[in-house]
Amino acid sequence: MTTTFDLFGDLRWFAVPVATLAYFLLGAVWFTPLFGKAWDDAIGHRRVAGDRFSAAYYVVPLLSSLLVTVTMAALLARSGTEGLVDALALAVVVGLGVALAISVTNALTPHTPHPFRLGLITGGYHLIGIVVVTLLLALMTST
């Protein structure tokens, strides 16, 4: 019987930092040049030139990217997923059924000016990020 510790020991740890960094960098692109203004508008925020975010604004998403990457690596290993098509299917199920669904639900607050826009922008990032992470893990561990 495989225990949780056995599962994490079976992961191809060399792929985790690469996939984590890809997810994190996707966020930098997603929430700045691609959807930064739409995201700001969705939460009712106005960026001012020269504004600086705290270190937590960068550290927390990096740690979250790591956690999602390790989780997807564990799901790939545990499910016996083989090949890119199966990896893509797993990523889409998790991305849509967990990340996008939770993002949209969490955005529905009375204080969010445009909750569905916020949920779709944030959830879309996580859906694409999970697909990228999972495909990278599958590619790097298919030896």
How does pLDDT run across 28-71, given as a tens digit for each residue? 999 999 999 999 999 999 888 888 889 999 999 999 999 999 99
pLDDT in the model for residue 129: 98
Give the residue with greater pLDDT, 11 vs 138.
138
The answer for residues whose C-beta is within 8 angstroms of residue 30's C-beta and 6 or more apart is 121, 124, 125, 128
How does pLDDT run across 68-118, given as a tens digit for each residue? 999 999 999 888 898 999 999 999 999 999 999 999 999 999 999 999 999
The answer for residues whose C-beta is within 8 angstroms of residue 50's C-beta and 6 or more apart is none
- Using DSSP's 3-state secondary structure scheme, residue 113 falls into coil
